[in-house]
Chains A and B, each alone.
Chain A
Amino acid sequence: MKVIVQDVPTVAPTADAAVGASRPGLREYARSLRQGCRQMFGIPDYERYVAHMTAQHPGDPLLSRRDFFAQTIDRKYGKSGPRCC
């Protein structure tokens, strides 16, 4: 079975990874800490989504905060695989 690869990102993908490569100031640090905590506990991160969309797909319609949470939570728990014993 071959998987056709589409949508290859044009920007280095680490650009919107949790902890940015640059390290200016306390604010930036607090932001990445907050993002890290959200990812660790599996909480959807709206700010990161907005940053991703504006950087990678400018002009595409953006989900509202309410819709973003509705979609991600429904998808995460709706049909996701089983969790551990």
Chain B
Amino acid sequence: MNKVMSTLLWPVIAIVGAFSFAALALGRGETVSAVWLVTAAVCVYFIAYRFYSKFIADKVLRLDDTRQTPAERHNDGMDYVPTNRWVLFGHHFAAIAGAGPLVGPVLAAQMGFLPGTLWILVGVVLAGAVQDFIVLFASVRRDGKSLGEMIKMELGPTAGSLALVGVLAIMIIILAVLSLVVVKALTGSPWGLFTIAATIPIALIMGVYMRIIRPGRVAEASVIGVALLMTALIYGRTVANDPTWGPMFTLDGPQLAWALILYGAVASSLPVWLMLAPRDYLSTFLKIGTIVALAIGIYYVAPPLAMPATTRFIDGTGPVFSGALFPFLFITIACGSVSGFHALISSGTTPKMIEKESHMRLIGFGGMLMESFVAIMALTAACVLDPGIYFAMNAPSAVIGTTAANAAQVISSWGFAITPEMINQTAVDIGENSILSRAGGAPTLAVGMAKILAQALGGKSMEAFWYHFAILFEALFILTAVDAGTRVGRFMIQDMLGHVYKPMGNTEFLPANLVGTGLCVAMWGYFLYQGVIDPLGGINTLWQLFGVGNQMLAGIALLLCTSVLVKMKRERYVWVTLVPTAWLLITTLTAGVEKIFHSDPRIGFVALARKFSEAAAEGKVLAPAKSIEEMQRVAFNNYLDAVVCGFFVLLVLAMCVFTIKICMQALKQAKPTAHEIPPLAGVDAAPA
């Protein structure tokens, strides 16, 4: 019976998928419903999961349920717990889904909906899901070891240390770029800032409740937290319109940057139970709830895609980010296709909770498909907006000016007809003063979501509420990430400093903690501030730096996976990891080198630095710098970005050399040489 169902079901899914793609492909010149886009994606996921992940599970990795998993071996009822696979799927998904899949696709929408969609789908099936799955597998077979430890085990201690420095550098960039997204979303938005600020006392109340008033009652605390959060969201409008309170919550970019830097330093020094844990619960609830609501909303409203399939900006002249489709699309959309950061999660808590090896297929591969689905929805939300509105929100003020009239004129000249009235009306609809130049993905996505959710629930009058709800949802988990990331960064810095001067490595030693926290915050804060005053809007620089770093990390993780396969003597199937590795290395090395050396100052760091330093030498001041000192600072920042980018390029090349050396050695061996925990005979073969 099951077999009949299966033979009937898969052709049906294939046909629905093909039909959806046909609707997308043939609908030239007329608008296509977003439902086709989402349906096509879902069909691809199902087919990839059913066939490709099964192939990897059975043939390439040969998952073995008689082997003990770390959760079985160390079952302690606390950290190591064999977990139901659907529950763990949800848990893993909540851990990997962050702001990444929401921001990248929105930025990439400037090239039209098709390039982004294709890269998200092809990338996730052949690269992203494969990486997450195999890293999870490798970690489970190594007793839940982390990515850094596994690189040390399989590729040697030098490679391990190098990778750790790389991870720290990428984390610093991520923290800076995520904070920049928040700054861009909250600049001059008292309603938004009030609700985000309110999450701090709300989290503190929850923390005290869970720890002191009613220890361990997370559900009760969460109900209180969510209720307070919604109250803050509703009354935010009143606060914003208040003559005394409104201006107090209206901050400009640099002020917000300083506020975030201060927040990062203080929040990461508080005990975890007081703010981080309660806020993390709040953001997880909101995250899952919003994603489900958006999926239902898209199917219920079935909005048409207003953005064309491709725009003229695939040639690299786009206002949102500069650089041609190859290679820059492939570093702009990272999470959603393939994200190196997931390798850290897949070798973090998840392997400690795997009940059986066969479950890794759903959790590793399936979890990443789910994340990719979020990216597709973010892309959809950006593409249902009028393209004129999209560009008004995402182009820097250096290009479109600071007034609606000017912006409308520039954007219309690109071929996306828009009037100043439409721009102003959108701002009024969402309850903001201005929508111009709010690059960073979050506000665009929020407007798209507000349009979809308001049509499904509440009508036009609710648009402002949904917009601020969406901003809250994104800012909440970005701030959680800033808090948690600063802590992790501090531990990594202390660990490194501990090798130089022993007491610095002691995490119980207060001065060492302060130095570690200070260094971490100073580093990401520097990049954040630089992004806020950047002439091209900051996102243009930082998101691409993050993209290069993140994809380099993915390349490193896939190199590790490749070496693991070769060491297991599965070289027959090594193409499974070698093909995505090669593609990632080609795109990111090209992008990295172009970001450094490209002669166009909108793309190359060195070219932009030279332009500003030469102008400064002649005594000229280029906008938006206001003095010669600022000119020199812009030049210095760009040289620094070039150095960071160069570091990523060299790092990944070094990892390539290590991997090739190790693989050559392993190929000469007759027996597997991977450092797995050997299967135990007898004790673990208990039937399910």
Contact = CB atoms under 8 A, between A and B. Distances in A.
7 contacts: A66-B215, A69-B210, A69-B211, A83-B98, A83-B484, A84-B481, A85-B481
Contacts of A5: 68, 73, 677, 680
B355 A44 contact: no
A13 B75 contact: yes
A8 B77 CA distance: 14
B153 A1 contact: yes
Interface in B186-243: 210-211, 215-216, 218-219
B75 A73 contact: no
Given A65-B215, A69-B210, A82 B71 contact: no
Interface in A48-71: 48-49, 51-53, 56, 65-66, 68-71
Contacts of B487: 77-78
Nearest to B489: A82
B174 interface: yes
B305 interface: no
Interface of B: 68, 71-79, 81-84, 86-88, 90-91, 94-100, 142-143, 146, 153, 167, 171, 174, 178, 210-211, 215-216, 218-219, 271-273, 276-277, 280-281, 284-285, 334-335, 339, 341-342, 344-345, 347-349, 353, 355, 480-481, 484-485, 487-488, 491, 507, 546, 550, 675, 677, 680, 683-684, 686-688
**Across the A-B interface, the 4 shortest Cβ-Cβ residue pairs:** A52-B77, A85-B100, A77-B272, A81-B348
A78 B280 CA distance: 13
B263 to A, nearest CB: 17
Given A41-B94, A81-B345, 8 more contacts: A1-B153, A14-B686, A16-B81, A40-B94, A42-B280, A42-B281, A44-B216, A78-B272
A7 B74 CA distance: 7
A12 B335 contact: no
Nearest to B178: A85
B77 A85 contact: no
Contacts of A46: 216
A74 interface: yes
Contact of B84 (A8, A17, A43, A68): A17
Nearest to A41: B284
Given A5-B73, A18-B83, A42-B284, A66 B216 contact: yes
Contacts of B79: 72, 75-76
A32 to B, nearest CB: 8
A83 B488 CA distance: 9
A42 B273 contact: no
Contacts of A18: 83-84, 87
Contacts of A81: 146, 344-345, 347-349, 488
Interface in A13-48: 13-14, 16-19, 36, 38-44, 46, 48
B539 to A, nearest CB: 14
Given A18-B84, A73-B277, A83-B98, A44 B91 contact: no
B601 to A, nearest CB: 27
A14 B355 contact: yes
Interface of A: 1, 3, 5, 7-9, 12-14, 16-19, 36, 38-44, 46, 48-49, 51-53, 56, 65-66, 68-85
A65 to B, nearest CB: 5
Nearest to B143: A3
A8 B73 contact: yes
A3 B83 contact: no
A82 B277 contact: no
A13 B71 contact: yes
Contacts of B98: 83-85
Nearest to A67: B215
Contacts of A74: 271-273
Contact of A36 (B78, B84, B271): B84
A53 B77 contact: yes
Contact of B77 (A19, A48, A82): A48
A49 B80 CA distance: 11
Nearest to B89: A40
Nearest to B485: A82
A62 to B, nearest CB: 10
Q: Most chain-B Cβ atoms within 10 A of its Cβ — which of A12, A70, A78, A83?
A: A83
B628 to A, nearest CB: 36
Contacts of B83: 17-18, 39
Contact of B91 (A7, A40, A75, A83): A40
B585 to A, nearest CB: 20
A77 B288 CA distance: 20
B680 A83 contact: no
Contacts of A38: 218
Contacts of B485: 82-83
A83 B143 CA distance: 20
B374 to A, nearest CB: 11
B277 A77 contact: yes
B277 to A, nearest CB: 5
Given A42-B91, A85-B174, A52 B677 contact: no
Contacts of B272: 73-74, 76-78
Contacts of B88: 39
Nearest to B173: A85
A67 to B, nearest CB: 9
A16 B85 CA distance: 14
Contacts of B344: 81-82
A40 B87 contact: yes
Contacts of B95: 42, 83-84
Nearest to B347: A81
A14 B94 CA distance: 24
A56 B75 contact: yes
A71 B277 CA distance: 12
Contacts of A36: 84, 86-87
B90 A40 contact: yes
Contacts of A41: 91, 94, 281, 284-285
Nearest to A71: B78
A8 to B, nearest CB: 5
A16 to B, nearest CB: 7
Contacts of B488: 79-82
A44 B218 CA distance: 9
A64 B276 CA distance: 22
B505 to A, nearest CB: 13
A44 B280 CA distance: 13
B348 A80 contact: yes
B273 A80 contact: no
A48 B81 contact: yes
Nearest to A12: B686
